[in-house]
Amino acid sequence: MGKETIAIIGRGIVGLTTGYRLLEKGYNVIFIDDSPYQSAASWNNAGLISPTYSALSPSIGTIKDISKWMFSKNSGIRISTSSFFKNLNWIWSYVRKSSLAMREEIMKLVYDMIKEAVEWYDMLSKKINFDFKKDGLIEVYLAKENFDKRVARLENYPKLGSFEIMDAKSVLELEPNLNKEIVGGIFYPEEASLDPRKLMLKLISYMRDSGVNFFEERALRFKLQGSRVSSLSTNKSEVKADFFVIATGAHKEIYKSLNLRVPVIAGRGYAVITDAKVELEHHISAGDYRISIAQLEEGNLKATGFLEFAGVRDEPRKECFDFLHEKLIQYIPNAKNCKVIETWLGSRPCTPDLMPIIDRIKDNLFINVGHCRVGVCLAPFSSRLLVELLEKGRHDYDLFSMRRFA
């Protein structure tokens, strides 16, 4: 199509990969966002690109599960009482769609989407280095009951990807610095990992060098002419473009000028970076609590976890940071004297079925949001679909349309 200008609102990983793909196709790309890079949900996530693990680890729960999440101190998924009542419609829709993620065709789709991401990031890392590794994932357990339940579930799920169920001795041969009291684990050799902060910064640098403008402006409202957007008003200027893409994650203010209700709430994730330098050969999932433990390029250990349904601007819970620190040490005892040197909280955009929305909402306005806890994993796939939608007028996945929430 050539040199049309496309304005992307939001510069998290979904917005950045969308911009990168459009740039590579010859479009003029501009970004509108005044939020700090560090506030993006993708900035400090686990960095795990996990086709098999993610497909076989759905987060959907029943109303009984939600009741447990509200009161359990050890749950990886949490919801406050105030958030529960504030988001009753979303939660009801979430419960009604609770079987979706368990369907074989959905598990297969998730696997394929993230498998595509492994290949795409591998290709991209040869162009802009961001510490991409195909080192596999080990999911480990300290409680035999939890391990046995997980193995039983895996035996009942579709056969996707590859994994190996291991006894404690075999796991410790792969990762000798793990707690010697683990009871077993599952090794996923196809999984990859990356540093999401470096990925985002490298994408931004590459696009800046290629002529992309990043405007530090806050998007306020769209101006419409019939079924088209004529311009975007910000706190500093009036932005005109041929096409507009909303990639604002869990932030929903921009929808007000469209009288559009997008069923996305914040599923907040927490992370702590410690000064521990204990060596790890693989990405670790602490399966008893669904906490991710990874080693950064500089050697520090990072723990990430939780899916906390709360407001974007709600204060973080200190106990969540403390919990991550405590569990990191529990699984990696040689890190027992480590100190937390950085904490982070990000708001992941979650739809009731935990699937993204990739759709056209006006003639020249598109939306790419709702990737929940797998934004970095799904960004290559969803950005490809967004480009197809823009250029061809359609993509092949009704599952990602806004109509499914009508």
Query: What residues contact 152, with CB distance under 8 A and at least 6 apart?
Result: none
pLDDT of residue 370: 96
Query: What residues contact 89, with CB distance under 8 A and at least 6 apart?
Result: 263
pLDDT of residue 100: 76
- Paired tokens of 305: 């976890």
The three-state secondary structure class of 285 is strand
The three-state secondary structure class of 31 is strand
Domains 5-43+198-262+353-405 and 55-98+132-190+264-350 alike in fold? no
**Other CB atoms within 10 Å distance of the CB of residue 47:** 26
Angle (CA) 177-182-186 rounded to 5° is 90
pLDDT of residue 84: 78
CATH of the structural domain 55-98+132-190+264-350, one choice from 3.40.50.300, 3.30.1600.10, 3.40.190.10, 3.30.9.10? 3.30.9.10
Residues paired with residue 291 on neighbouring β-strands, in sequence order: 286
pLDDT of residue 72: 62
- Dihedral sign of CA atoms 254, 255, 256, 261 in order: negative
DSSP states of 220-247? EEEEEETTEEEEEEESS-EE--SEEEE-
pLDDT of residue 67: 59
- Spatial distance between the Cα atoms of 377 and 50, rounded to a whole number of angstroms: 7
What dihedral angle (degrees, nearest 10) is formed by the CA atoms of 28, 33, 36, 40? -80
**61-100 burial code (b ≥16 CB/10 A, e <16):** beeebbeebbeeeebbbbbbeebbeebeebbebbbebbeb
- Spatial distance between the Cα atoms of 208 and 336, rounded to a whole number of angstroms: 42
DSSP states of 4-57? -EEEEE--SHHHHHHHHHHHHTT-EEEEE--S-GGGSTTTTS--EE-HHHHHT-
Average pLDDT per block of 10 residues along the chain, 406 residues long:
86 97 97 88 90 86 59 68 80 79 89 97 95 94 97 92 97 97 97 95 97 96 96 97 96 93 92 96 94 92 90 87 97 96 94 94 97 94 97 92 90
- Dihedral sign of CA atoms 33, 78, 272, 176 in order: negative
Q: Please check whether residue 47 is in contact with residue 195, taking contact to mean a CB–CB distance below 8 angstroms.
A: yes
pLDDT of residue 187: 98
CATH topology of domain 5-43+198-262+353-405: FAD/NAD(P)-binding domain (3.50.50)
The domain ranges of the chain are 5-43+198-262+353-405, 55-98+132-190+264-350
- Paired tokens of 310: 């709360």
Whole-angstrom Cα Rg for the chain: 21
DSSP 8-class letter at 133: B
Q: Please check whether residue 371 is in contact with residue 356, taking contact to mean a CB–CB distance below 8 angstroms.
A: yes
**Other CB atoms within 10 Å distance of the CB of residue 202:** 19
- Paired tokens of 339: 């100190």
pLDDT of residue 191: 96
- Paired tokens of 378: 């799904």
